[in-house]
Amino acid sequence: MDEELLAEFLTESNENLSSIEEELLKLEADPGNAETLGAIFRVIHTVKGNCGFLGLQGLEKVAHAGENLLGKIRSKGYHVDGDMVSLLLENSDAIKTLIAGLEENGVEPVLDFSDLCVRLSAAERLIDLDGAASSEQQEAASDQLDSVAAEDVSDALAWLEGLSENAQALLAGAGFSTPESVLDAGFEQLRNIDGLKPAEALKILGLAKSRKISKEKTAEPESIVEVQETVELQEQAESEPEPPQPVPEKSEPEEVTAPVAVQREQEKPVKATRKPSAESSIRVDVALLDELMNQVGELVLSRNRLLRLVGQSEQSDLVRTCRNISQTTTLLQEKLLHTRMQPISTLWSTVPRLLRDIGKQLGKKINVKMDGQETELDRTILAAMKDPMTHIIRNSCDHGIELPALRQQKGKSEEGTISLSARQESGFIMIDIHDDGGGIPADKIRNKAVSMHVITEEQASKMSDKAALQLIFHAGLSTAEQVSNLSGRGVGMDVVRSEIEGVGGTVEIDSELGSGTTLHIRIPLTLAIIPALIVSSSEQHFAIPQMMVQELISIVPASDDWEYVAGRSFYRLRGRLLPIQFLSDALGLQASDGEKCTVVVINVGEHQFGIGVDGILGAEEIVVKPLGLHFQHLDLYGGCSILGDGMVVPILDCVGLTKELRQGHDAEIIKADREDVTAAASEDSQYILVFSLGDKWYAIPMALVERIEEILPDSIEASGRREVLQYRDQVIPVLRLAELLDVEPIEQGEIEPCLIIADQGRRLCIQVDEIVDIVQQKLEIHLDSSEDCFLGTAVIDGRSTEVIDIFEVIKKAIPNWFNSSGDRRKRQQRILYVEDAIFYRNLVLPALEGLGCEILLARNGLEAQEILSHHKPDLILTDLEMPEVNGFELAEWVRTQPAIASLPVVSLSSLEPSDIGARSELFQACVKKFEREVLLDELTRLLGRKPRDKGVAKAVIDAEVVNHDAIAGGGE
Amino acid sequence: MSESLQMRSRLLTCRVAEQWLALPVEQLSEVVTAQMKTVIPLAPEAVNGLINLRGKILTELDMRKILHIDPDQNQNDYRTIIIESDGIENFGLTVDAVGEVIDMDTDAFERTPESLGTNWKKICHGVLKQEKRILILLDVEKIIQMSMPVTES
């Protein structure tokens, strides 16, 4: 067999067949669509035609049987039903199996599909029958389709397939054993046969007719095809003198050379897409692309080296030329990366079929909704995502979507829906898989995890629902009560997680009882060239993929914030315990005795870890290369790369590096988890950001600041009278604090320190003169300020510092910033806010106003009782420790007042949940002070509003430099 | 590597400690001087590190370490033979010195003598007897095997 020809055939057939399932399902939804049917027919027809040419007999037979059936459907204008589509799907599966086998071994696999062929031809006859007989009989015959198919076709009475044995016997007894004799005899005579029912007589007649027709046709089986082709090509023929008849098949391969283009333009007439698609795209061997990618990788490295060398040069010509090369290289790299990208729809196209099969199997009705199919991903990542996606979807169908009856009971529509959505977000692809099923009860997972000894009872009770849900990814945990053959073997979700993590992604689960489950997957766009952080440890250099890095912190080893639990090091970072793995320990290196220690905070799954290194050398774009045989046993490394100076640097695999931390010390990690933090910083002490404007110091609570950025003055642009900054795909307003507060700013430096404030998904940038420090202390306001923009004066580091009311400042500068997306209602909801400390009042009030609520203020419980006797707010938000009547007493009192007993009461205090203990039952929610987002979430929930959109304000992804000492030094 | 091909090939001679070795030229691409290398922590004993050979990253194996011969403190002008053989990943192999390329003298070929040191025996598949010395014929695949990490299982 000509190998080149065969390769061509395989590529083409695979491309053609990739769309066939989709088309078949389309046909099922719209059985009368001649265009869809035509497309399906052409695919199978092309395969069959090519098989004949290549001498692939088995394949040809299967394809031919399918083609005949499709031809029949087309010529009769038959409307296919589910069974028929199943049969056709089976046919395309068989073809695919054969082609896959052929691809693997180079020879046609020996597989027996004669059973399928028999059923296909039986179906063909059924369609004939449909023309002649009544629909009632068609149904009967349809039911028998599967059962009769197994019978031997070589039997003399084979043409009578579909008839009961009794009828066959009666017919034979009456001497009608051939189709011709039956036809000659006619309906009257058949009816007169004793015992033969009229319906059966009709059926026999139909069978006989179709048999005769098919016999006549065998001489020229493709007549239908050619007529069809002729029609299609007529328009083309007008411009081409060549008669269309001899080349009916030639046009087929041309059409499919660019499957993507064809798919996009499906709506347009077929003819219009042919020529342009053939000309605008070509097929390229993937291996060639990969090789190109390698070469460009080398080019990028050489470019980096060149730039470094030229950086010291004085020759301006040389410098300029190098910049050009650099630019071109970047473009080349981007474009080439693009060639490796494929839309996620290539992955999702199999989903409708999958859902159809699963749905049938489970007796559920499942719809699929897709959003963002055009989102592109690197093909290697795409390939790696295939299995996890399939598994998640299977799981969603199996455990998530309820049976139709149950759904109806719950007042949902009978059909379940799986929604897939994909979007790009700052260098990552976010994929959400949502089902509108029953959701996952967190308690069930807790119990299961406890019974499997994954966590202890105590941990389980402390664990938040969200944290408990994540346990589903733990090896060996499956909540399915009944193990079905789809899922529930308990090997699923942990494999899903490890596969996703394998390509540098993360997965999280979110579920709401009764209304469904969502899996959030975050994966990088590409793996070929990645930005990486170069770190040093014990005189050696290592690369850490930037996408894993959350932030960098610089710590003094003697700091009080170090904790040692069970022989492990933890660092208390903003109230949370961060498990630290020192790189030198993990690698068995001699630890250097440097004064300082830099910690790279990385995200692995839902957890954060710190990697202790000696220093950060910088960031570089690196080309990931595999490590050799000798390193395969080390899961600490993800590969290696060459730096700009030619040095080889190993790339650390953060997942492998923290494996020990994650596995052996689940307990500590859970303890350190944000939602379960029990050992938070000492009461009331908080992180305060100190910065300077002119020669004075100012402070704001760190909790209000999302990030500290150093921004080049050029990147701040003027927009109307305002200044704006492009930041993480958003255009955010820039406020110059010095101007607003009427302070003389110091001269503008090379960079502008900026504070990024995030509130309800919106961001704002506040430019200050210099960041002084971040200190942790109790914020005591000594002198309440009468000025709008200040909360008062506090002493920080022995120096009096103005504490700024940042929300008042924002309100002054951009009055509508808080309200722009506020959830406005017809009737304004009212919140009673009870707080004795003016500092907190000023801090919280803007947030409450941001909700668009009217605020009733009380300074203590007594005042609150007074107000409540006249007003009925929608919610009470109260501090706990107050003079006169404290928060607990107030809540107790509220519960005894019939008119307001059912009001939601939220506590806002610096007390730990453990301190509140059982008394927390008095409140609908207990929020800690400064947990602004949590507070807003709770209030929104309790006010019965839609959950807030938190899409934008999610955790930041790339490196966040919060280098205390450097900041204190006032420089970079 | 079949025996017959071995018989016809040309050999590069090289020296480790006092012992001369021979390697078929088909299995190597070049010999380079000492390269900058990156030590990889936790790598197997016999691995010196990773070298950057014109953009290709190769693992550098140390013949002395493979053979458990103490390193020569005075030696710093060692050579690295770049091995490029079908079916094996490319790697660098450090030797104390390289000699010349010689033609394989099939008459001088002998099976590995029993008297040879244990470690030497593990990496050779025969010797060539010359006038004054014995050349050990190196087996590249065995060298790799010897250098691989000891699996715990």
The DSSP H or E segment spanning A765 is: strand A762-767
| CB-based contact B147 A588, cutoff 8 Å | no
Tokens 């944290």 found at: A467
A640 touches chain B (CB under 8 A): yes
Encoding tokens for residue A205? Answer: 């007649």
Q: What share of chain A is helix, strand, coil (3-state, %, to 5)?
A: 45, 25, 30
Which CATH fold would you assign to the domain A529-676? Answer: OB fold (Dihydrolipoamide Acetyltransferase, E2P) (2.40.50)
Q: How confident is the model at residue A784 (pLDDT cuts 50, 70, 90)?
A: low
Q: How confident is the model at residue A432 (pLDDT cuts 50, 70, 90)?
A: very high
Tell me how far CA of residue A46 lies from CA of A37, A131, A164, A941, in angstroms: 14, 28, 37, 58
What does DSSP say about strands A905-909 and A875-878: parallel, antiparallel, or unpaired? Answer: parallel
Q: How far is B89 from chain A (nearest CA, A)?
A: 7
Which carries the bigger pLDDT value, residue B99 or residue A481?
A: B99
Distance between CA atoms of residues A932 and A761, nearest Å: 13
pLDDT tens sequence across A866-915: 888 877 888 898 888 877 788 888 888 888 888 888 888 888 887 777 77
| CB-based contact A587 B42, cutoff 8 Å | yes
pLDDT tens sequence across A563-618: 777 677 888 877 777 888 888 888 888 776 654 578 899 887 667 888 988 888 88
Which carries the bigger pLDDT value, residue A31 or residue A486?
A: A31
A78 touches chain B (CB under 8 A): no
Measure CA of the first residue to CA of the last residue in chain B; give whole Å.
Answer: 30
Nearest to B89 among A628, A636, A650 (CB): A628
User: Do B10 and B24 contact (CB within 8 A), yes or no?
Assistant: yes
A631 touches chain B (CB under 8 A): yes
Nearest to A301 among B51, B55, B89 (CB): B55
Q: Does position A42 have pLDDT exceeding 70, yes or no?
A: yes
pLDDT of residue A160: 61
So what's the architecture of A830-942 in CATH? 3-Layer(aba) Sandwich (3.40)
pLDDT of residue A871: 79
Cα nearest neighbour of A641 on chain B = B57
Residues of chain B in contact with residue A630, where contact means CB-CB under 8 angstroms, are 43-44, 46-47, 59, 61, 147-149
Report how far Cα A258 is from the mean position of its chain's Cα atoms: 27
pLDDT of residue A215: 52
Which CATH fold would you assign to the domain A1-111? Answer: Four Helix Bundle (Hemerythrin (Met), subunit A) (1.20.120)
Measure CA of the first residue to CA of the last residue in chain A; give whole Å.
Answer: 68
pLDDT of residue A134: 45
Distance between CA atoms of residues A396 and A407, nearest Å: 15
Q: Does position A963 have pLDDT exceeding 60, yes or no?
A: no
Q: Does position B61 have pLDDT exceeding 90, yes or no?
A: yes
| CB-based contact B38 A301, cutoff 8 Å | no
Distance between CA atoms of residues A470 and A455, nearest Å: 12
Cα nearest neighbour of B45 on chain A = A630
Which CATH fold would you assign to the domain A685-816+956-967? Answer: OB fold (Dihydrolipoamide Acetyltransferase, E2P) (2.40.50)
In A390-485, beta strands by DSSP E: 416-425, 428-435
Residues of chain A in contact with residue B50, where contact means CB-CB under 8 angstroms, are 627, 640, 648, 650
Helix intervals (H) in A572-730: 583-586, 654-657, 659-664, 666-672
| CB-based contact B91 A628, cutoff 8 Å | yes
pLDDT tens sequence across A669-691: 444 443 333 333 334 556 788 88
Q: What's the mean pLDDT in A272-280?
A: 44
Q: What's the mean pLDDT in A186-215?
A: 62
Q: How confident is the model at residue B123 (pLDDT cuts 50, 70, 90)?
A: confident
**Percent of chain B at pLDDT above 90?**
31
User: Do A344 and A373 contact (CB within 8 A), yes or no?
Assistant: yes
- Least confident residue range of A236-240, A397-401, A833-837, B83-87: A236-240
Helix or strand or coil: residue A226? Answer: helix
pLDDT of residue A426: 66
A539 touches chain B (CB under 8 A): no
Helix or strand or coil: residue A286? Answer: helix
Q: How far is A588 from chain B (nearest CA, A)?
A: 7
The correct answer on CATH 3.30.465.10 for the domain covering A343-524 is: no
pLDDT of residue B50: 94
pLDDT tens sequence across A709-753: 888 888 888 877 788 888 777 788 888 888 877 777 777 677 788
Q: Does position A369 have pLDDT exceeding 60, yes or no?
A: yes
pLDDT of residue A662: 67
B153 touches chain A (CB under 8 A): no
The DSSP H or E segment spanning A584 is: helix A583-586
pLDDT of residue B14: 93
Tokens 């958003």 found at: A730
Q: How many residues does chain A have?
A: 972
Nearest Cα residue to A464 out of A575, A566, A606, A570: A606
CA dihedral A130→A135→A138→A143, nearest 10 degrees, is 150
- Chains A, B: CB contacts within 8 A come to 64
Distance between CA atoms of residues A260 and A277, nearest Å: 9
Q: Does position B103 have pLDDT exceeding 50, yes or no?
A: yes
Tell me how far CA of residue A736 lies from CA of A696, A716, A745, in angstroms: 15, 11, 9
Largest CA distance in chain A: 116
Residue A570 φ/ψ region, left for φ over 0, alpha for ψ in the -120 to 50 degree band, beta for the rest: beta
- Least confident residue range of A514-528, A796-810, A952-966: A952-966
Residues of chain B in contact with residue A642, where contact means CB-CB under 8 angstroms, are 52, 55, 57
Distance between CA atoms of residues A544 and A599, nearest Å: 12
Q: How far is B150 from chain A (nearest CA, A)?
A: 10
pLDDT tens sequence across A84-104: 888 888 888 888 888 888 888
Domain ranges of chain A: 1-111, 127-220, 225-280, 286-339, 343-524, 529-676, 685-816+956-967, 830-942
Averaged confidence pLDDT in chain A? 74
Helix or strand or coil: residue A910? Answer: coil
- Least confident residue range of A161-175, A457-471, A831-845: A161-175
A649 touches chain B (CB under 8 A): yes
Q: What's the mean pLDDT in A510-516?
A: 85
Q: How far is B108 from chain A (nearest CA, A)?
A: 35
Domain ranges of chain B: 3-146
Please, what sign has the CA dihedral across residues B35, B38, B40, B41?
positive
Q: What's the mean pLDDT in B32-44?
A: 90
A300 touches chain B (CB under 8 A): no
- Least confident residue range of A223-227, A494-498, A747-751, A900-904: A223-227
- Note the ipTM here: 0.89
Q: Does position A396 have pLDDT exceeding 80, yes or no?
A: yes
Encoding tokens for residue A760? Answer: 């309800």
How many C-beta neighbours within 10 Å does residue A224 have? 18
Q: How far is A292 from chain B (nearest CA, A)?
A: 14
Q: Does position A801 have pLDDT exceeding 90, yes or no?
A: no
B21 touches chain A (CB under 8 A): no
A826 touches chain B (CB under 8 A): no
Residues of chain A in contact with residue B40, where contact means CB-CB under 8 angstroms, are 631, 637, 650
B50 touches chain A (CB under 8 A): yes
Q: Which residues contact B9 (CB under 8 A, 6 or more apart)?
A: B24, B25, B26, B104
Q: Which residues of A244-259 are buried (b: 16+ CB within 10 A; e: fewer)?
A: beeebbebbbebbbbb
Please, what sign has the CA dihedral across residues B23, B25, B28, B30?
positive
Nearest to B38 among A302, A587, A650 (CB): A650
Q: What's the mean pLDDT in A959-965?
A: 41
B91 touches chain A (CB under 8 A): yes
Q: Does position A271 have pLDDT exceeding 50, yes or no?
A: no
User: Do A528 and A340 contact (CB within 8 A), yes or no?
Assistant: yes
- The conformation of residue A399, written as its DSSP 8-state character, comes to I
B75 touches chain A (CB under 8 A): no
Largest CA distance in chain B: 46
Which carries the bigger pLDDT value, residue A464 or residue A820?
A: A464
Which CATH fold would you assign to the domain B3-146? Answer: OB fold (Dihydrolipoamide Acetyltransferase, E2P) (2.40.50)
| CB-based contact A630 B57, cutoff 8 Å | no
Q: What's the mean pLDDT in A419-443?
A: 85
Cα nearest neighbour of A650 on chain B = B40
Asked if domains A1-111 and A343-524 share a fold, the reply is no
- Return the ∠ at Cα A213 (arms to A207 and A217), rounded to 5°: 140
Q: Which residues of A262-296 are buried (b: 16+ CB within 10 A; e: fewer)?
A: bbeeeeeebeebbeebbeeeeeeeeeeeeeebeeb
Tell me how far CA of residue B34 lies from CA of A373, A479, A663, B37, B94, in angstroms: 52, 59, 42, 9, 9
A57-76 vs A82-105: helix axis angle to the nearest 10? 150
Q: How far is B38 from chain A (nearest CA, A)?
A: 6
- The conformation of residue A321, written as its DSSP 8-state character, comes to H
Q: Does position A75 have pLDDT exceeding 70, yes or no?
A: yes
User: Do A804 and A791 contact (CB within 8 A), yes or no?
Assistant: yes
Q: Does position A490 have pLDDT exceeding 70, yes or no?
A: no
Q: For residue A925, what are the β-bridge partners? A: A906
B51 touches chain A (CB under 8 A): yes
